[in-house]
């Protein structure tokens, strides 16, 4: 029973992608209908798959020979992320019905969105590291194609290429990891190395561990690769919500969490992961305070919250990281889609021109404020519980205390920039003549479940921890009931401190007029933050070097067939020579 469900969850979006594309751009209604129905069907299939997470059946697709069979196994981590990808994916598609109405080339749009959803499901369900790498790159490719969807806009094209190059750069780390695994075990089986990291010599395991860390940092827009995500905000907003907030950027956190039992013992790995997470969380939070573009603020906050998750994995809190991933996916998708409704309505992303929009868009304001409160980490909403669990994990396992203190400060910064954002958009005086209207029906249909989820997903803590602990025997996760987890959070001293810090962040925003005395002192930091602390230059250098070398390699493309045949011949001779010299295959 699980086998067809797995194939359906991957296959339905891909089939839908083909059909949407084949339907042709002359039938936009048909395309909307096809996209919505296939993504919703995939979401249902993924939800039905969740109960199989406990049994972990192994589905094998024999492909014969060299690369090992393609295997899929739905365990707790996999089914949960597959459900997130397809359910939020279908909501983003529903939202797109309103948001993308009247746009040209819907076939291309929906085909890539659905292709992405299928690839994301495959990425989290497969247990073959090579296949995971393939899915990993498909998600990068679709992300690029969708960021650059408006391909007549040079900014969108540049943002897409930057995202593609940087995530590919990190993807090399995953490829190195996969090849190291294959070289030492003769297979790409992930489960084997997780169950027994001793399969690999310590040096090889370290290569794999740090390769995966590089891949995860690039994918999840973590330090020092954090600058591609804000530039990716040129994408249509449902794409930002789906790919750059709720799913693809989580792939890095997923990778770290998946391999945690194997890499845990690698010297320096956990510290490196925690440092990457902490730096990302801190730097991105500071950048979010000075940003004026609504979507860029959300992008920085995504980097910052992903930093929390990466930090949690490094700190040994795999459950806390995954629980925050769930919360974050829901409330950040809500915030992005809410921002999409605002942007669609007023036609600008500059928050300095907004203000007072709440009166004209009461529904959007309501759901946006719910999402913002969760992002700030205020009690009762899902972001509160998961963030507190992360901070608690930072206390355990002898983790450095100063890192925890930095993370606490970041939670205060988060509250500050979140309230700044909400205030600039929905409250205060209207600063420019903007024509605003309430969101459309399809938008509301997509926003309402997300708002409901933001209010309630923390109630799933108990069953979620049981799912993860039972299906991931190698991970340090113990099952607790929801009540136990909530009580644990409420009685932890860290929680009290965190709530105080968050309150301090809020107070700083309310009293911002009195704090103007500090402004000159902070201006330098603000300026550095606006320039991404110089890491923008590093990232841009990587992109420029790649583009330049590609341009230089162009001269090898003579376009002359004879040259191509000659090089084929040379390659053939080299292969024959190697075989003749007797370099045997293992």
Partner 1 sequence: MTISIPTTVIIMVLGLIGIGIYALLTTRHLLKVIVALQLLVKGAMLALVLAGRLTGQEDLGQSLAITVIIADTIVAVIGMALAVQVRRVIGTLDLRSLTSLRR
Cβ-contact 420, 509 below 8 angstroms: yes
Query: For residues 183 and 573, which CB has a smaller minimum distance to partner 1 in the complex?
Result: 573
Q: What is the DSSP letter of 202?
A: H
Q: Which residue in this structure is represented by tokens 């990716």?
A: 232
Shortest spacing between CB 563 and partner 1, in angstroms: 9
DSSP per position, 501-556: HHHHHHHHHHTTTGGGGGHHHHHHHHHHHHTGGGHHHHHHHHHHHHHHHHHHHGGG
Query: For residues 515 and 573, which CB has a smaller minimum distance to partner 1 in the complex?
Result: 573
Shortest spacing between CB 547 and partner 1, in angstroms: 16
Shortest spacing between CB 557 and partner 1, in angstroms: 6
Shortest spacing between CB 566 and partner 1, in angstroms: 6
Shortest spacing between CB 560 and partner 1, in angstroms: 7
Cα 288 to Cα 411: distance, rounded to the nearest angstrom: 13
- Number of Cα atoms under 13 Å in the Cβ half of residue 542: 20
Shortest spacing between CB 144 and partner 1, in angstroms: 22
Query: For residues 65 and 524, which CB has a smaller minimum distance to partner 1 in the complex?
Result: 65
Interior/surface letters 164-178, b for 16+ CB within 10 angstroms, e for the rest: bbbbbbbbebbbbbb
A 10 A CB-CB count for 100 gives 25
Shortest spacing between CB 194 and partner 1, in angstroms: 38
Is residue 152 within a helix (H) or strand (E), and if so which, with residue range? none
Of 280, 245, 310, 303, residue with least CA distance to 533: 280
Which residues make beta-bridge pairs with 70?
61
Query: For residues 516 and 556, which CB has a smaller minimum distance to partner 1 in the complex?
Result: 556
Shortest spacing between CB 548 and partner 1, in angstroms: 17
A 10 A CB-CB count for 103 gives 15
DSSP per position, 36-49: HHHHHHHHHHHHHH
Query: For residues 516 and 557, which CB has a smaller minimum distance to partner 1 in the complex?
Result: 557
Cα 332 to Cα 367: distance, rounded to the nearest angstrom: 11
Query: For residues 521 and 560, which CB has a smaller minimum distance to partner 1 in the complex?
Result: 560
Shortest spacing between CB 568 and partner 1, in angstroms: 8
Query: For residues 531 and 558, which CB has a smaller minimum distance to partner 1 in the complex?
Result: 558
Query: For residues 63 and 405, which CB has a smaller minimum distance to partner 1 in the complex?
Result: 63
Alpha helices in 357-460 (DSSP H): 362-376, 382-395, 401-426, 441-456
Query: For residues 183 and 571, which CB has a smaller minimum distance to partner 1 in the complex?
Result: 571
Alpha helices in 396-440 (DSSP H): 401-426
Cα 580 to Cα 447: distance, rounded to the nearest angstrom: 65
Binding site for partner 1 (CB under 8 A): 557-562, 565-566, 569
Q: CA Rg, the chain, in Å?
A: 24
Of 56, 59, 69, residue with least CA distance to 6: 59
Q: How would you class 309 by CB atoms within 10 Å of its CB: exposed for 0-12, middle for 13-18, buried for 19 or more? A: buried
Q: Which residues contact 386 (CB under 8 A, 6 or more apart)?
A: 320, 323, 324, 326, 327, 328, 458
CA angle 133, 35, 252 (to 5 degrees): 25
Query: For residues 63 and 500, which CB has a smaller minimum distance to partner 1 in the complex?
Result: 63
Query: For residues 429 and 557, which CB has a smaller minimum distance to partner 1 in the complex?
Result: 557
Query: For residues 496 and 573, which CB has a smaller minimum distance to partner 1 in the complex?
Result: 573
Alpha helices in 128-268 (DSSP H): 129-147, 154-185, 190-195, 202-219, 228-231, 237-241, 250-258, 260-263
Cβ-contact 313, 257 below 8 angstroms: yes
CA 478 to chain centre: 25
Shortest spacing between CB 569 and partner 1, in angstroms: 6
Shortest spacing between CB 576 and partner 1, in angstroms: 12
DSSP per position, 565-584: HHHHHHHHHHHHHHHHHT--
Query: For residues 65 and 559, which CB has a smaller minimum distance to partner 1 in the complex?
Result: 559
């Amino acid at each position: 029973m699980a086998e067809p469900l797995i194939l359906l969850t991957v296959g339905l979006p891909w089939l839908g992608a083909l059909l949407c594309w084949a339907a042709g751009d002359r039938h936009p209604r048909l395309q909307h209908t096809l996209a919505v129905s296939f993504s919703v069907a995939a979401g249902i299939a993924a939800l039905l798959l969740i109960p199989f997470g406990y049994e972990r059946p192994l589905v094998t697709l024999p492909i014969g020979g060299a690369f090992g069979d393609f295997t899929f196994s739905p365990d707790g981590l996999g089914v949960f992320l597959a459900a997130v990808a397809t359910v939020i994916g279908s909501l983003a598609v529903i939202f797109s019905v309103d948001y993308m109405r009247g746009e040209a080339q819907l076939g291309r749009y929906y085909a890539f969105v659905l292709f992405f959803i299928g690839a994301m499901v495959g990425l989290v369900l497969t247990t073959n590291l090579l296949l995971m790498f393939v899915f990993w790159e498909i998600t990068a490719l679709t992300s690029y194609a969708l960021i650059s969807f408006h391909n007549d806009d040079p900014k969108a094209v540049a943002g897409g290429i930057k995202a593609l190059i940087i995530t590919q750069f990190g993807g090399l780390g995953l490829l190195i990891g996969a090849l190291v695994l294959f070289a030492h075990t003769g297979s790409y089986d992930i489960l084997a190395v997780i169950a027994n990291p001793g399969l690999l010599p310590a040096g090889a395991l370290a290569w794999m561990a740090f390769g995966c860390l590089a891949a995860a940092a690039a994918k999840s827009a973590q330090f020092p690769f954090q600058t591609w995500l804000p530039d990716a905000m040129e994408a249509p907003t449902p794409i930002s919500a789906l790919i750059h907030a709720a799913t693809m950027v989580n792939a890095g956190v997923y990778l770290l969490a998946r391999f945690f039992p194997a890499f845990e013992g690698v010297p320096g790995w956990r510290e490196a992961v925690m440092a990457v997470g902490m730096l990302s969380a801190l730097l991105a939070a500071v950048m979010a305070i000075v940003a004026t573009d609504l979507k860029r603020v959300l992008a920085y906050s995504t980097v910052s919250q992903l930093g929390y998750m990466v930090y949690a994995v490094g700190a040994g809190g795999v459950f806390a990281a995954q629980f925050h991933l769930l919360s974050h996916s829901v409330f950040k998708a809500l915030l992005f889609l809410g921002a999409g409704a605002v942007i669609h309505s007023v036609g600008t992303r500059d928050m300095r021109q907004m203000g007072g929009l709440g009166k004209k868009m009461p529904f959007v304001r309501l759901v946006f404020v719910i999402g913002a409160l969760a992002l700030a980490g205020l009690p009762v909403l899902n972001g509160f519980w998961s963030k507190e669990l992360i901070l608690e994990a930072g206390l355990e396992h002898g983790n450095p205390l100063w890192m925890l203190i930095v993370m606490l400060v970041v939670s205060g910064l988060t509250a500050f920039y979140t309230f700044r954002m909400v205030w600039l958009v929905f409250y205060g005086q209207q600063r420019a003549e903007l024509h605003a209207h309430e969101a459309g029906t399809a938008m509301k249909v997509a926003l309402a479940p997300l708002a409901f989820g933001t209010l309630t997903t923390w109630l799933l803590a108990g069953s979620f921890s049981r799912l993860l602990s039972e299906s991931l025997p190698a991970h340090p996760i113990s099952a607790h009931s929801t009540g136990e987890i909530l009580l644990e959070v409420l009685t932890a001293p860290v929680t009290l401190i965190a709530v105080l810090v968050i309150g301090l962040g809020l107070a700083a925003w309310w009293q911002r007029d009195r704090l103007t005395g500090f402004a000159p002192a902070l201006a330098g930091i603000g300026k550095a933050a606006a320039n991404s602390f110089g890491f923008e230059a590093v990232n841009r250098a990587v992109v420029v070097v790649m583009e330049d070398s590609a341009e230089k390699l162009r001269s090898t493309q003579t376009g002359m067939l004879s040259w191509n045949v000659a090089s084929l011949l040379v390659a053939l001779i080299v292969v024959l020579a190697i075989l003749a010299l007797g370099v045997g295959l293992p």
